[in-house]
Amino acid sequence: MAIFALSFENLYSPAMSQVIQNKSIRKIFRLLLAGMLLLSFSTVKANEEGGEKFDAGKMIVEHISDAHDWHLWGEHDHAVSVPLPIILKSEKGLHFFMSSAFHHDIEGKHVVENNGERFVMLHNHIYYAADSATAEGGYVTVNEKGEATNAAPLDFSITKNVFAMLVSIALLLWIFLSVAKAYRRREGMPPAGMQSLVEPLIIFVRDEIAKPSIGPKYKKYMPYLLTVFFFIWINNLLGLVPIIPGGANVTGNIAVTMTLAIITFVITTISANKNYWQHVFAMPGVPVGVLVLLTPIELLGVFLRPFVLMIRLFANITAGHIIALSFFSLIFIFGEMSTGLGLGVSVFSVAFVIFMSLLELLVAFLQAFVFTLLSAIYFGAAVEEHHHDHHDAHEGAHSH
């Protein structure tokens, strides 16, 4: 939460935040350092006892992927995690149970029976359990590519990402409903408290994103642009907070970014006027011979834009998480060689992670801004009236 608070302070008074920043950075640094030292000690010990090698790639992918429970610490039988509800749709109907029913099993060995169906979990995917166990004791058969061949039910579980997203939505609702109330209560008065924090951002979205990109029809798109901006930003920030309910990779999940990109695409397509389609299918002032080449490219561009929107957000946020986790992994990799080496590396790793976190604070805002700006530019292109001179400017903006 300290990092989260820090970002708000940064937006506020520069002189004040300078003081707070220095103090809290030092505090965070000390805390993290102490925590990391302790953690690396215990892991090194555990590894010596268990003899299991630390796999950085596996650890990182596990952290940035979605999960059916919120893993806190420990491995396998010693794991401590927050159980989350599992909701499955099979041919026999809906199935509800908590993820703790699997007892932290991710190898398809523990069968859960519910409502006449048998389920197993293999690497955070839920499959129908086979009738009998394989030689290794699992109920899932795996082909040579490592993919499970079992059938799977439709999975509508409240996963880690869904849970984190719901938390972020609750946070957004709390912030903006109370701010809206403050506006009603303090009508005609200057903003105060939370109001003065979000008002510059709302005005920023309106005056720097919506108005210049969309033009006179911007008002219709303001609710979506504001919602998407704050949704992405808050989730990006929560992703930087290392403790529950932060630390999930919501905006670094392809399903989330895909949904957002599709909404932008649908709004663009619905609001597109004749001028927009004319530019796609028959660019005015272009000879027919060139149109044969240009139209497919333009048509491709229509679908490519939301696709790029999806990939950009996903890749940026996931990359941030991967980098932070990689630096932490270094501690464990060197810790396996020798305890002293791990301790030495931890100092540099933590320093780098703090540096990266500060950079990610910027990225969190930047990606929310870019997604909102590009959405606004696409809406602007869709509702733009007949103007030739503006066309080039839009094409230029697409190559962000």
Partner 1 sequence: MELIKPSIGLIFWMSVSFFTLLFILRKFAWKPILNMLDEREQNIAEALNTAKKAREEMASLKADNERLLNEARLERDRMLKEARDTRDAIIAESKDKAQQEANKIMAQTRETIRTEKNAAITELKNQVASMSIEIAGKILRTELGNDEKQKSLVQDMLKDIKMN
Residues of this chain that interact with partner 1 (CB under 8 A) are 61, 64-66, 87, 123, 154-159, 161-162, 165-166, 169, 172-173, 176-177, 179-180, 183-184, 187-188, 199, 202-203, 206, 219, 222-224, 226-227, 231, 253-256, 258-260, 263, 314, 318
Measured from the CB of residue 276, what is the shortest distance to partner 1 in angstroms?
23
State the Cα–Cα distance between residues 24 and 398, nearest whole angstrom: 39
| Distance of closest approach, residue 23 Cβ to partner 1, in angstroms | 33
Half-sphere exposure of 66 (CA within 13 A, CB side): 22
**Position 195, amino acid:** Q
Output the smallest distance, CB 142 to partner 1, in A.
14
CB-wise, 109 or 321, nearer to partner 1?
321
Q: For partner 1, give the closer residue by CB, 77 or 187.
A: 187
Cβ 236 to partner 1, closest distance in Å?
A: 15
Nearer to partner 1, 16 or 203 (CB): 203
Task: Spell out the residues 6+ positions from residue 353 whose beta carbon is closer than 8 angstroms to its own.
Answer: 32, 324, 327, 328
**Cα dihedral across residues 197, 201, 203, 208: positive or negative:** positive
DSSP string, 104-141: T--BS-S-EEETTEEEEEETTEEEEPPSS--TTS-S--
Alpha-carbon torsion angle 265, 269, 275, 279, nearest 10: 50
> What does the DSSP 8-state code read for residue 52?
P
For strands 85-90 and 80-83, give the pairing.
unpaired
The three-point CA angle 106-108-112 to 5° equals: 100
Which CB atom, from 234 or from 345, has the smaller least distance to partner 1? 234
Nearest to 334 by CA among 323, 344, 347, 326: 344
- Please, which residues bridge with residue 48 across strands? none
Tokens 């930047």, located at residue? 366
- How many C-beta atoms surround the C-beta of residue 147 within 10 A? 10
Which CB atom, from 70 or from 231, has the smaller least distance to partner 1? 231
- For residues 340-362, one letter each, b for 16 or more C-beta atoms within 10 angstroms of the residue's C-beta and e for the rest, the string is ebbbebbeebbebbbebbbebbe
Q: Nearest approach, Cβ of 273 to partner 1 (angstroms)?
A: 23
Nearer to partner 1, 173 or 290 (CB): 173
- Residue placing its CB nearer to partner 1 in the complex, 157 or 367: 157
Q: Least Å distance between CB 265 and partner 1?
A: 13
CA–CA dist 213, 227 (Å, integer): 17
Shortest Å, Cβ 147 to partner 1: 11
Contact between 265 and 306 under an 8 Å Cβ cutoff? The reply is yes
Residue 184 or 388 with smaller CB distance to partner 1: 184
Q: How far is the CB of 201 from partner 1 (least distance, A)?
A: 11
Q: How far is the CB of 153 from partner 1 (least distance, A)?
A: 10
Q: Give 137 or 200: the residue with its C-beta nearer to partner 1.
A: 200
